[in-house]
Amino acid sequence: MTLLGGLALWVACLLGVWGALTGLLGAARGRADLIASSRHAVFALCGALLVAVVALEVALFRHDFNVEYVAAYTSRNLPTFYTWSALYAGQKGSLLFWAAVLSVFAAVAQVVTAPRHRVYLPYVGAITSLVIAFFVSVMLFGGANPFERLAFTPLDGRGLNPQLQNPGMVFHPPMLYLGYISITIPFAFAMAALLSRRLEVDWLVAIRKWTLLSWLFLSIGICLGMWWAYVELGWGGYWAWDPVENASFLPWLTMTAFLHSVMIQEKRGMLKKWNLLLIIGSWLLSIFGTFLTRSGVIASVHSFTQSNVGYFFLGFLAIAGALSLWVYARRLPDLTAESTLESIVSREASFMFNNLLLVGIAFSILLGTVYPILSEWATGTKVTMGPPAFNRVNIPLGLLLLLLTGIGPLIAWRRSSLPNLRRQFAAPTASFILAALVLLVAGMRDPYPLVALSLGGFVLGTVVQEFARGVAARHRQYGEGWWLAFGRLIARNRRRYGGYIVHVGIVVLFIAFAGLAFKTETEATLRPGESATLRSPYGWTYTFTHLGISQYDALNRQVTAGTVDVTRDGRRIGVLSTEKRQHVDSRGQPTFQPSTEVGIRSDAREDLYIVLAGVVNGTEQAVYRFTINPLVWWVWFGGLIVVFGGLVVMWPGGGAPAVRRAQAGYAVKLVAKAVG
Amino acid sequence: MAGSTDWTRREFLAGGVGVLLSAQDTLPEAGPAGKLWDPGRAGRPVEPTTAADNDAAIQAIEKRLRCTCGCGLDIYTCRTTDFTCPASPGLHRNVVALAAAGMTGEEIVADFVRQHGIEMLMAPPARGFNLTAYFLPGLAILGVGIALVIVISRWARRARPVETGAGAAVLPPTTAGELEQLRHELEQFRA
């Protein structure tokens, strides 16, 4: 099978080059035969890469340890669940996974694209084929072939890194990859529009859902990554401004900017240049993230091992960036706006400032991520950009963005009058003041959490007001019951109200982040029966009683578990267990350093987070770290709301075309006509 | 009931629960007399916690200093995460020793920077070239923001006379009610 897999990679490489050439030539010269050949190449490419994936999975499940990748990332006693995920656990396998998923997306784009957008498909096929050919050539010529064989066959493999043996790591990388990879499709459509000079609003319609899909996958991937870091790494947090974390966040920010500014282009025919730049930038940032993860140029706990692959990506990034920006620059005269802004107090202007902040934050994070290198170049001194540095710059910008999240929906399109502003802002401002007063009376003095929570009140006030007015209008117009009106309001205006649901999710996330300011922790050495206490920010006193240490063998690990009885203000709330795990191969030989499994008890108010540091002198006397993390549950819940809102926006349908057009902004034009 | 050898059902159950609770001291597979069956499995042996480990001032200093193991975390987070780092316990002992010798937090941080270089700081000092990392994004946003305000204001000035000149009415903002009415009429039109 590995022979077949290797062969499939060579076939895929050739097909990629063929698909790119025929697609570009066919589209440029209007040759139907070449265009058809390019389309077929895209499907064949997908087939070849899926064969390669299946071949690698077969090798993984057959424990073919003569294959270097199989020996490096699996062992005979690795659970089946993780044997499957070993496909993308290492550099080489993840490159194959990336190329295969992109080929699936490319084939799907060829099939599902609406007939009126088919004009772009030859270019789309060519660009996706080119990107896939690059990934496959990195595998073949960059020393990253997952089917490479060893000169000998080990009895057992090394096994999967224990930190990757977590359900979060089974789902987090594919989701993140799906987000990263699918950005190539909107990028390909944008380049197709530029190359074909068909720059009317149509290309935008063709890519909006793809961009939303990428954004959704990236959102899920980032949230799952945070969850994995929290439950697996044991440091009690979920975001450390690590370069690889930042790399995933950068395209998310620029795509969020695009999803806002695209509305201005749809409604007013403005910001065409900007929107194209955002799409090109998002794709380049996704390649930049791949370069960061795989080059080892910046130290990160998430990076793959340092290899030459990074240079391939750097070269690709430079060439692809230069080419796409050159094409973009050549088409600038065709990208003139159809109208201009009429007032600074308008929805359009607020979206522009929202874009400015989103892209500004992306710039700030990018600068912070590469700053150690820049500093070394400029001053000869390497510095560290840790969480304190990122927080110092980005928390104020994030709060400003939160404020705009609340302001944007309150301002009318084109122009807002003073009475309208008064009417719109009254309730949200009242909820802001109320939230701030309640928090001040409750004794909160920490400025950032205070501002974040108060602004959360403001944004929620805005969203509730928007929903309330919409529901009331339906109730009046159609005589619908309140809940029916609420359901139909969302169902018939999915984009608008789905967007508001996303805003609610963002507010919930900000509130949860603010909770981190109230984290408390203590370390304690306890003999069985001894207790440690910790006071929570809510005023409760938790008592942790060490019950003892147990040791036992599991499938692929030797476990030392510490068990702790927990009471809150004297009331018993349960038992928590935290482990030290020594992973072993099928012969019982240790494979990695011992790892720690955290004991977590989570509720809506706070998490109890217990880590077994180790034991003293080989006895049951144990050292623990006890942490109380307020509001962490809301991080996951906020992420779910964001994803749910994104799904609502994406969900197909939404009423008759005429109604959809009305919701998409043509209403304003129709009203204008009626008034005129 | 005193002196009787017969147990009531309640006493029997209470006795059973007592035996079960006392069994907590000898958890399954725990070694005899508090010694672990195989201490080698429990990771690196650790020292009992001292008051300095929970000292907020020590923690604050350690959160400003980077661990040298390459994890990218600060000394405090690294030494309390996974507890396998070979560097952070030593760095922690240094911080505690310097604090015990009477040095202030700033002096301790300066001492670490002297020994290990500026890279030791989790956030570079806000001076010289480092100012770009702290202020460039904010200044760029401010600059572009001001430019946007100027450009939009110009557009707005240009847009207004054209509109009034053409006799077009200045539109009142569309309310949710108007949109619903429009949708209603469109649906009627379609029907």
What are the tens digits of pLDDT across the range A123-172? 999 999 999 999 999 999 988 999 999 999 998 888 888 888 888 778 88
What number of CA atoms fall less than 13 Å from residue A291's CA on the CB side?
17
pLDDT at B163: 47
Residue B11 pLDDT level (bands cut at 50, 70, 90): low
* Token pair belonging to B83: 């507890």
Q: Look at A242 and B72 and tell me if their CB atoms are within 8 Å.
A: yes
Q: Is A1 exposed, middle or buried (CB count within 10 Å of its CB: 0-12, 13-18, 19+)?
A: middle
pLDDT score of A547: 93
Burial call A328-342: b when 16+ CB within 10 Å, e when fewer: beebeeebebeebbb
Task: Output the CA–CA distances (angstroms, integers) from residue A221 to A97, A218, A226, A279, A643, in the order listed.
Answer: 16, 5, 9, 20, 11
Task: Tell me how close the Cα of B106 comes to any Cα of chain A, in angstroms.
Answer: 16
* Backbone φ, ψ for residue A630 (5° rounding): -70, 145
Residue B30 in any domain: the answer is: no
**B8 found inside a domain:** no
In this prediction, residue B10 carries a pLDDT of: 63
Distance separating alpha carbons of residues A655 and B35, to the nearest angstrom: 70
Residue A179 has a CB neighbour count (10 Å cut-off) of 24
Instruction: Determine, yes or no, domain membership for B185.
Output: no
CA separation for the pair A336, A199 (Å, rounded): 10
Reported as a pLDDT band with limits 50, 70 and 90, residue B14 is low
pLDDT for B61 beyond 80: yes
Q: Please report residues of A whose CB lies closer than 8 A to that of B161.
A: none
| Surface-to-core class of residue A423, CB atoms within 10 Å of its CB (0-12 exposed, 13-18 middle, 19+ buried) | middle
Residues in chain A with pLDDT values less than 50:
658-659, 661-676
Residue B81's SS3 state is coil
Nearest to A255 by CA among A272, A240, A275, A234: A275
Q: How far is B11 from chain A (nearest CA, A)?
A: 24
For A597, the closest chain B residue by CA position comes to B82
SS3 of A165-193: CCHHHHHHHHHHHHHHHHCHHHHHHHHHH
Range of the domain at B73: 53-120
**Start-end of H helices in A142-242:** 167-182, 184-196, 202-228
Q: Is B11 inside a domain boundary?
A: no
Angle at B13 between CA B11 and CA B19, to 5 degrees: 100
More confident residue, B41 or A667: B41
Q: What is the distance in angstroms between the Cα of B45 and the nearest Cα belonging to chain A?
A: 6
- pLDDT at residue A676, as a whole number: 40
CB A523 within 8 A of CB B50: no
Band of the pLDDT at B108, cuts 50, 70, 90?
A: very high
List Cβ neighbours of A188 (8 Å cut-off, separation of 6 or more): A106, A109, A123, A124, A127, A128, A131
Q: Is the pLDDT of residue B27 over 50?
A: no
C-alpha dist (Å) from residue A648 to A109, A482, A488: 21, 20, 12
Examine the pLDDT at B4 and tell me if it is beyond 90.
no
Map out the domains of chain A with their CATH numbers: 1-160 (no CATH), 166-332+383-395 (1.20.120), 396-516+637-675 (no CATH), 518-633 (2.60.98)
> Other C-beta atoms within 10 Å of A110: how many?
20
pLDDT higher than threshold 80 for residue B190:
no
Where do we find the tokens 């984290």?
Answer: A519
Residue A560 β-bridge partners: A551, A580
**Cα dihedral sign, A642-A643-A646-A652:** negative
B138 phi and psi, to 5 degrees?
-65, -45
pLDDT band at B25; cut points 50, 70, 90: very low
Contact B134 A392 (CB under 8 A): yes
CB contact under 8 A, B63 and A388: yes
A253 and A358 Cβ atoms separated by less than 8 Å: yes
SS3 A77: coil
Chain-chain contact of B42 with A615 (C-beta, under 8 angstroms): yes
Please give the residue of chain A at the shortest CA–CA distance from B52: A523
Give whole-number Cα distances, A151 to A68, A147, A157, B105, in Å.
Answer: 9, 13, 14, 56
Mutation to test the A interface, candidates B116, B120, B150, B152, most A Cβ within 10 Å: B152
At residue B119, what is the residue type? Answer: E
User: For a pLDDT cut of 90, what percent of chain B falls above it?
Assistant: 43
Q: Which two tokens stand for residue A467?
A: 């929903």
Beta-carbon neighbour count of residue A145 at 10 Å? Answer: 21
Whether residue B187 is contained in a domain is answered as no
What's the pLDDT at A117?
83
Number of domains in chain B: 1
* Residue among B64, B124, B148 whose CB faces A353 most closely: B148
Give the pairing of strands A606-615 and A622-630. Answer: antiparallel
Q: Which residues of B touch A616 (CB under 8 A)?
A: 45-48
Q: Is residue B24 part of a domain?
A: no
How far is residue A611's CA from residue A588's CA, in Å, rounded to a whole number? 25
B98 inside domain = yes
Task: Please tell me the predicted confidence (pLDDT) of residue B2.
Answer: 38
- The residue assigned the tokens 């809102």 is A645
State ipTM.
Answer: 0.85
Which of A78-82, A278-282, B5-9, B185-189 is the most confident on average? A278-282
- CA–CA min distance B57, chain A (Å): 13
- From start to end of B51-141, where are the E strands? none
Distance, in Å, from the CA atom of A326 to the CA atom of A255, rounded to the nearest integer, reads: 21
B47 inside domain: no
CA–CA dist A30, A12 (Å, integer): 25
Q: Read off the tokens for A513.
A: 């982040």
Q: Please state the length of chain B.
A: 191
